[in-house]
Amino acid sequence: MPWNRLVSQPQTRWTAATGPDSDVVLSSRVRLARNLEDFPFPHRMNERQARDLIRQVEAGIREVNLMGVCPPVELYRLDDTPYLDRQVLVEKHLISRELAQDARGRAVAISEDEAVSIMVNEEDHLRIQVLAPGLDLYSAWELGSKVDDALEAKLPYAFHKTRGYLTACPTNVGTGLRASVMVHLPALVMTNQAGRLFNTLGQFGLAIRGYFGEGTEPIGNIYQISNQITLGRSEEEILDHLQSVVQQVIGHERRAREHLARQMKAQLEDRVGRAYGILTGARILSSEEAMRLLSDVRLGVEMGILKGVEARTLNELMIACRPAFLQKLAGKELSPFERDLRRAALIRERLVA
Amino acid sequence: MLCQHCSQRPATVHIVKQVNNQREEYHLCETCAREQGHLGLEPAFTLPNFSLQQLLSSLLESDPFTGFGGGPAAPRAELRCSFCGLTFRQFKEGGFLGCSHCYEAFASELGPLLRRVQGSDKHVGKAPRRSGGVLRLRKELAQLRAELQEAVSREEYERAAQLRDRIRDLERRIQAGGDGNAVE
Ligand SMILES: [Zn+2]
Ligand SMILES: [Zn+2]
């Protein structure tokens, strides 16, 4: 896909809003950390080594395409890409904030359907990521593992018989697997149950994070739940554990929604209706307010209170109304106030149509 | 990547500046950023510390003689990876290993550290096809043995006999040093 199309359309694989349990789960992600022997880890590389490594990875990408494990994958060198474009890929969850910040000697390979993205020279040499809509960890893992196999056929992975796949940080060593599920938990937040639940997750060895992952704040009642341990458990065990805990979280959220629907029907409908009213009527919308109201509207759609709005439209809006995307769409830098104007216009247009 | 200015230390401070409508990016280590007066003026993005990360850094910060690893006071800070040149002290300061060979160079220290942080120091799970002929066979063997036990406990003797044959075959292949193509 041409780079420019990649960074100017808000649709991406996970925004499809299909997949199991999509009334609570936005997307599932599987990420495999891999490194090559005989190169220092990225933080110790000079630019020449980084470029050499990218050339080797190209051979691996050709193998992925030859084996046809997923729609065609294209590699983009990030060196000369505009900062704004890279931020758009962060907003689409295709690359990490870390990769976007420093583009020197870095690259990303992305499949045509944007399900697979392979970050090159981020914290590790390779970060193979698969995104899927809904709760679909196993198929994401299956695809990620196939991409991994194809790359491995061409690249000498750093693998140790007892430590497994070797990574720059010891918190990723072993399987190199970080699986995460993005969940929308407005009813648990409204009923003040979220805090207690999040504390329990820690006891299960899982981490809860914000919308953009590690170290970020939750936006619009959306959270990421992921495994922490990567060593001493097989991929299947890690996924089974995460899957079963997430299913319990989904159960809690659904029960809280039922409770709200029974006990506070009018207040709930009022809240959803007001959010829709503001989103379709406002002329100035901050990012924070937009995400909060989109969460209310999403809840209305997920509970069948609000008809005529599609979940995929809401997902795309969550990308389209982020700062970098708005500026990309405008084709120029925008002040925060200009962004608030354009954000309101964009949301109004998409929700009314 | 290494710092743009000194090419010695990892670039951990990323600065984006708007100069005459031109966007400029700088990627510096903390030392160079401070020397050039960048720290404190621009928001510095540093790697976030979270949970396991936090545990790791708190373990790394602990006294080298009483912290993880235990044992007699050894000159641990002198450990150095011969491939990338990273010293164990540098690892303790930064929290990142320098290359895959560091895992061997610092093996005596990493074992206890991994047990504390990950709860284990042994990998189970996927192995590369190429390097993992025997590893893969071993895993298959373990699975077959579990299946055999189950078959016996359910008194499915015909199935148990079949499993026994496959186990013997696998054991022979492992003895012979494995063969990457044998298992798919
Ligand atoms: Zn420097
Ligand atoms: Zn090393």
Q: Please, what is the average pLDDT of chain B?
A: 76
C-alpha B172 – ligand 2 centre gap (Å): 37
Chain A residues within an 8 Å CB radius of B95: 169
User: Measured in whole angstroms, how far is the alpha carbon of residue B5 from the centre of its chain?
Assistant: 29
Handedness of CA A79, A84, A88, A90 (dihedral sign): positive
Nearest to A165 by CA among B3, B87, B102, B126: B126
CA–centroid distance, B110 to ligand 1, in Å, is 28
A251-274 mean pLDDT: 95
What pLDDT is recorded for position A57?
97
Q: ipTM of the predicted structure? A: 0.89
Q: DSSP letters along B74-131, please? A: --GGG-B-TTT--BHHHHHHHS--SBTTHHHHTHHHHHHHHHHHHS-SS--S---TTT
Distance from C-alpha of A15 to C-alpha of A213, rounded to nearest angstrom: 17
Q: Does the pLDDT value for residue A12 go beyond 80? A: yes
Question: Does the CB of B19 have a partner CB in chain A at under 8 Å?
Answer: no
pLDDT single digits (tens) A209-245: 888 877 777 789 999 999 999 999 999 999 999 999 9
How many A from CA of B11 to the centre of ligand 1?
Answer: 7
Count the residues in chain A: 353
Contacts of A177 in chain B (CB under 8 A): 125
In chain A, residues with a C-beta closer than 8 Å to the C-beta of B99 are 39-41, 44
β-bridge mates for residue B15, sequence order: B26
Return the bridge partners of A111, or none: A73
In chain B, the residue whose alpha carbon lies closest to the alpha carbon of A167 is: B100
Cα A104 versus chain centre, distance: 23
pTM: 0.82
Tell me the pLDDT tens digit for each residue of B69-103. 444 445 555 899 999 999 999 998 889 999 999 99
Task: Give me ligand 1 centre to Cα A93, in Å.
Answer: 30
Calculate mean pLDDT across residues A111-135: 97
pLDDT over 90 for what percent of chain A? 89
Q: Calculate the average pLDDT of chain A.
A: 94
Q: When comparing pLDDT for B184 and A56, which is higher? A: A56
How many angstroms separate the CA atoms of A131 and B67, rounded?
40
Could you read off the pLDDT of B113-130 as tens digits, one per residue? 999 999 999 999 999 986
Indicate the DSSP class of residue B8: S
From the number of C-beta atoms within 10 Å of its C-beta (0-12, 13-18, 19+), residue B63 rates as exposed
> Helix A265-281 to helix A287-302 angle, to the nearest 10 degrees?
130
Beta strands in chain A (DSSP E): 25-34, 73-77, 107-111, 116-120, 126-133, 159-160, 164-165, 177-184, 206-209, 222-227
What is the average pLDDT across A270-276?
96
Give A349→chain B minimum CA distance, Å: 31
